[in-house]
Amino acid sequence: MRSILSFIFIVLLTMIASAEEPTTAEAPFFKKLMEANQEIQKQNYTKALSLIDEAEKIKPNTTEASTLKASVFLYQKEYAKAHEIFLKNAALLPENIGAQYNLAESEFVQGIYPASREKLNKLLEIVKTTPKEKLNTLPWGDATADFFSYKIYLSYLFEGNPSEGKKMLDQFDPYSLTPIYYFGCSAMEFSNKNNIKGLEWIGSAAKIYNPKLIELFSNAFFDKGWIRKGAKPGDITTDVAPVEKK
């Protein structure tokens, strides 16, 4: 699941936001988590879980370790285990946008779109009222609001409600600092089986926006099966044909 990379990114932010400056005694704990994170990216999930267990022996009952473990469970499609962890952490960190997003995303990847959308809408309202000087504290900086809006939009398309999705798409800014409009148009084309046009929108976005933003907005397309697994989001062009989701 490519979108779990988003979870891993949020994990690191949660570590920074919820923890004090690591002491010398805590350094081994964070080192184990970083090593586990690296193993996750290499899809060595058994090794990653082992490293997380070692970290928890050093410092038990932390949201940092449990969130990373939940990410592994999502990769392994053990949704109930992951959701239980994210639900607990969201309760422990009610003001932490990363923890709240993880819970919403857990529901999103399971196809529980109404519940996910409700949480994302609440987060979006919080982000919209964040002062400009504090935007850098958000999970994706000044791109966070657009990303949450985009996920809400996708939730409508994925649950088979294109009319509501179209209402949101019509409000996306073609000149935004993020590729929200391009990926919004791409998603609409894919949902209408116009795959080549969908890829063309992504190709256009890749010529304009930062590769990290392209990857962020592409993740859900991999999970949906609209983009071939193994394709690098920053290199997506019209000659990368999507495959049907199995």
pTM confidence score: 0.85
Q: Residue 194 carries which DSSP code?
A: -
Query: Is pLDDT at 161 greater than 80 in this prediction?
Result: yes
**Would you say 195 and 189 are in contact if contact means Cβ atoms under 8 Å apart?**
yes
Terminal-to-terminal C-alpha distance of the chain: 13
CA distance 159 to 215: 23
Of the pLDDT bands very low, low, confident and very high (cuts 50, 70, 90), residue 239 is very low
Q: Determine phi and psi for 30, rounding to 5 degrees.
A: -70, -30
The domain over range 1-110 is classified in CATH as 3.40.50.2300: no
Angle at which helix 162-169 crosses helix 180-191, to 10 degrees, equals: 160
* pLDDT computed for residue 130 by the predictor: 92
CA distance 220 to 217: 7
| Burial (Cβ within 10 Å: 0-12, 13-18, ≥19) of residue 8 | middle
Tens of pLDDT, residues 94-109: 988 988 999 999 999 9
Tens of pLDDT, residues 163-203: 999 999 999 999 999 999 999 999 999 999 998 899 889 98
Average confidence (pLDDT) over 126-143: 90
Q: What are the distances in angstroms from CA 95 to CA 18, 74, 134, 183?
A: 10, 23, 15, 29
Of the pLDDT bands very low, low, confident and very high (cuts 50, 70, 90), residue 26 is confident
Angle at which helix 211-224 crosses helix 4-18, to 10 degrees, equals: 130
Give me the residue spans of the domains in the chain. 1-110, 135-246
> What DSSP string runs through 208-220?
TS-HHHHHHHHHH
Q: Mean pLDDT across the chain, nearest whole number?
A: 85
What is the percent of the chain with per-residue pLDDT over 90, rounded to a whole number? 59
Burial 163-197 (b: 16+ CB within 10 A, else e): eebeebbeebeeebebbbbbbbbbbbbbbeeebee
Query: Is pLDDT at 45 greater than 90 in this prediction?
Result: yes
Q: Residue 61 carries which DSSP code?
A: S
Report the phi/psi class of residue 225: left, alpha or beta, with left for phi > 0 and alpha for psi in -120 to 50: left
Residues in Cβ contact with 164 at an 8 Å cutoff, skipping those fewer than 6 apart: 156
Query: Is pLDDT at 237 greater than 70 in this prediction?
Result: no
* pLDDT computed for residue 113 by the predictor: 96
